[in-house]
Amino acid sequence: TGVKNVYALQKIAVEETRLGIPLIFGFDVIHGYKTISPIPLGESASWDIEAIEKSARIAAEEAAAAGLNWTFAPMVDIYRDARWGRVMEGAGEDTYLGSVIATARVKGFQGNDLSDFSTIAACAKHFAGYAFAEAGRDYNTVDISNTTLHNVILPPFKAAAEAGVATFMNSFSELDGIPATASGYLQNTLLKGQWDYRGLVVSDWDSIGEMQDHGFSADLSNAASQAINAGNDIDMEATAYIRHLAELVESGAVAESVVDNAV
């Protein structure tokens, strides 16, 4: 972080690499960058939507001034188990309030035009069901009904999508026995299909690699093919795509058009 560091690295990326593709600098700007606001749950308890949007706007201006382009916020998960350790990061248990706050925070971070240098791209997370992990244990299995999924969990995500959120992040957890990172239903059928979402989907931190821990992927190469074919565009941290995508395309396990779509 910091303009000096960002500029130095961006100069290398644009001027000294084969394709000259600029880097995107992302950071967890959750409830403030330099000026710290109440935690998101505290903000939501105020029911002051204007103040919540302003909080995100201030955070965006400060983060953008430091050279950042992207925040991994807002977390729009609805949760109803106080044992879950990340309750502080969202808007609470009510779907309607959570949807209104999701919209406000996206607007605060992104403004009306992402080409404005004072804005940063937002990221709606964690798609989907993350906060309904059994016994409130992070990364655990999620086993819920379609009624709960569509009427409780998904509306804040749809609100974020309709507000123009630039990115989505999928979830560490599994849903119906399938890790969200490899869920073609969530990412392709629902998000990019029924909702006609045109932004990108990023994995959570090593969630592609952790599909092996779920017992879903045989190895990292298998996880890479499962994730990208399901609609996961960017691999955060697992290095699965860097290591294996080229060979997966060459073998026919992943169509080149799928990679083109992610790009």
Q: What is the mean pLDDT of each run of 10 residues along the chain (263 residues)?
A: 94 97 96 97 97 98 97 97 94 98 98 96 98 92 96 98 98 94 98 97 98 97 98 98 98 97 93
Report the number of secondary-structure helices (H) and strands (E) in the chain. Answer: 10, 7
Res 140: pLDDT: 87
What single-letter amino acid sits at 58? I
pLDDT of residue 250: 98
Task: List Cα–Cα distances, 134 to 88, 137, 165, 202, in angstroms.
Answer: 18, 6, 29, 24
Is 138 a residue of the active site? Answer: no
Compute CA 235 distance to the chain's CA centroid, rounded to the nearest angstrom: 11
User: What pLDDT sits at residue 1?
Assistant: 81
Query: Which pair of structure tokens corresponds to residue 149?
Result: 């999924």
- Residues 6+ positions from 211 with CB-CB distance below 8 Å: 179, 181, 182, 217, 223, 226, 227
Report the DSSP beta bridge partners of residue 70.
26, 121
CA distance 224 to 115: 32
Residue 146's nearest CA partner among 172, 175, 170, 169 is 175
pLDDT score of 14: 98
Q: pLDDT tens, 76-92?
A: 999 999 999 999 999 99
CA–CA dist 257, 261 (Å, integer): 6
Determine contact, residues 131/120, Cβ cutoff 8 Å.
no
Q: Exposure string (b/e) for 151-162, b if CB count within 10 Å is 16 or more?
A: ebbbbbbbbbbe
- Of 138, 196, 204, 206, the catalytic one is 204
- pLDDT score at 110: 98
Q: What is the pLDDT of residues 14-46, one digit of tens each?
A: 999 999 999 999 999 999 999 999 999 999 999
Nearest to 230 by CA among 201, 194, 188, 169: 188
What distance in Å separates the CA atoms of residue 244 and residue 252, rounded to the nearest whole number?
Answer: 12
